[in-house]
Structure 1
Amino acid sequence: MTVREHDVPGIMERCRSLETNGKNGGTANGEPPAPPNEPAEVPEGVRLYSDLFSASHRVQMYTGNLVPGVLQTVEYACALLTALTPSVMPHMTQDQAYYRVNQGRELRSDYRRGVRMVLNESVLHQQMGAPVNVLSGQLEYLVTAISGNPQWSVQLLPSSSPLNAMQQFTTFHLVGGQTVVHAEPFGECAFSNDPPLLARRLDAFERLQAAALGPAESMERIIQRLRETWCVR
């Protein structure tokens, strides 16, 4: 579904419903799509995040020390979800991983949406207990995905920056003029369009961008780390 076709009022109602009922869902790409007859078992919060992304003309994201879900490979997503939710059945973890992959590929195919991301540079070293080839494949995919859409950019925040202590968040600037912020405490997610909160998050993102390396230098760092992982695969 394209940006123009999205039901923005319906999405806003789902945001309010999720907040009111307290049903915060838990936790894409180039990999093969999920099997057509096996719908992904994905929490409503995750689906709502994806729909907000689709309905936005601009997205700003700070994800700390993890590659954003919309840029993850299946292997990386599975390793992450397994580490965060070990009690979830393997097939459900794989469903969610494929959902991320497929959604990310679809979102990146729309060149009308500007996406700006700031990541802690430690993301280049996070293996989450998986073999180094999983991280290597993820970094390679990250380079390819960002290079493939000029409207998307990544900046690395030096590990020494005090801003790394900031909670990860995403701001969605919707086509209809509304803005929604998604903040993700550990193990849950929450959506809000509260004006004071939005103002704080927008200001925080400006500070993050100012403290981070530029997009070109950040890409050089990612490629350098990718080459290092090739040496130990």
Structure 2
Amino acid sequence: MEAEATSVRTWQMGVIPGLLQTGEYARELMTSIGMSEAVEEKVDALVEVRLARQVVLTRESPLTLWAIIAEGALRTRCVGEDVMRDQLGRLLNRGRRPNVTIQVLPSDSPPHVGQMGSYSVLGFENYADLDVVHVESLTSALYVEDGEQVGMYRDAFERLRAAALSVEQSAERIEQIWDEHGPR
């Protein structure tokens, strides 16, 4: 569906959105959440697929991505020394693209609708009634297609967008956290 979508609006509480991940961050993430030997054996292939999906951001008619990321996800400690620094650099770089918008929801924000969980709304130009919500869990994924429920997720995203730092302030916060990881 992502390849056919024209837009993705995503809220992520604990991780960097897959479309913005570096290979090393994705590898570390997948290795840490691998719940079976079968998953662990497929990490390289899963990382390759994750990175291949990112072509939607650079194709001729690129997907529009609006990502709201909880600040805590930006402060995750990674095993690899420069993994998070490189990941934050990727966010700063991708955030400069005209089709990518990144906002950060600060850790000290008051209670908000996003605390109910991460999700993505996949949009299909001129067909809002075909929008689909994707909710991922540890062992499965849920696809919400009911128009009323999709509308609730869209409204929740707008509330998160309003609560998050502006795009400019978000870039400054990401750069501040990037600087905290020290010089290369």
Please indicate, yes or no, whether the TM-score normalized by the shorter chain is above 0.5. yes
Moved more, 149-158 or 163-172: 163-172
Moved more, 111-120 or 194-203: 111-120
- Paired residue for 1:205? 157
Computed over aligned residues only, the root mean square deviation of the Cα atoms, in angstroms, reads 1.8
Q: AA paired with 2:75?
A: H
% identical equivalent positions: 28
Q: What are the equivalent positions in structure 2 for 1:48-197 lying under 5 Å apart?
A: 52-89=1-38, 90-104=40-54, 106-110=55-59, 111-128=61-78, 130-147=79-96, 149-161=97-109, 162-163=111-112, 164-175=114-125, 177=127, 178-197=130-149
TM-score, normalising length: structure 1: 0.71
Q: Deviations over 1:2-49 (max 9, x none)?
A: xxxxxxxxxxxxxxxxxxxxxxxxxxxxxxxxxxxxxxxxxxxxxxxx
Q: Deviations over 1:86-129 (max 9, x none)?
A: 4245441111111111211x11113543211110011221125x
Q: AA paired with 1:152?
A: V
What are the ranges of 5 or more consecutive residues in structure 2 without an aligned counterpart?
none
What is the CA-CA distance between 1:145 and the residue it aligns to? 2.0
Q: Following TM superposition, where does structure 1 have runs of at least 4 consecutive aligned residues deviating by more than 6 angstroms?
A: none
Contact 2:56 2:62 in 1 (8 A): no
Q: AA paired with 2:18?
A: G
Equivalent residues, number = 178
What is the CA-CA distance between 1:173 and the residue it aligns to? 1.1
- Paired residue for 1:227? 179
Higher-Rg member (1/2): 1
Q: AA paired with 2:8?
A: V
3-state SS in 2 of match to 1:135: helix
Q: CA 1:94–1:183 in 2, change beyond 3 Å: closer, same or farther?
A: same
Find the aligned partners of 2:17 and 2:158 in 1 and give their Cα distance. 19
